Amino acid sequence: MFLDGITCYDAFTESEFTLHAYILAWTGDIPALSKVMNITGHNSFSGCRFCEIQGIYSHKHKHVYFPSKGTYAKKNHTDWLSHLNEIEVASTSKDKKSLIKKYGKYK
């Protein structure tokens, strides 16, 4: 329905037109963006939505932290699609949960 646009009325020209709207960007705090993007939060093992850094769990502090040294590969659209596809075709829920933890993405 919305993919074809919405019929609106232009009072100035006294005619109807089809309105198409596109989301160009959105903003929010980290929990809100995580929910909108369908990714795990910033305290997960794959908490960065920009790079491939992997968190390390501290048993002492019961918290995931991220090493401050090193360079990390940036995430790109092709990798995101590949990871989502891998999660989608996982044969068991255990495999799916493991991949979600590994990639930080929900499907």
Distance CA 50, CA 31 (A): 15
Q: Quick one: tokens of 35?
A: 């929910």
Mean residue pLDDT of the chain comes to 86
- pLDDT value of position 50: 84
Overall pTM > 0.85? no
Mean pLDDT of successive 10-residue segments in the chain (107 residues)?
Answer: 86 96 83 82 81 88 85 87 91 91 78
| DSSP symbol at 75 | P
CB 53 within 8 A of CB 66: yes
What would the pLDDT profile of 64-83 be if each residue is shown by its tens digit?
A: 888 888 788 888 889 889 98
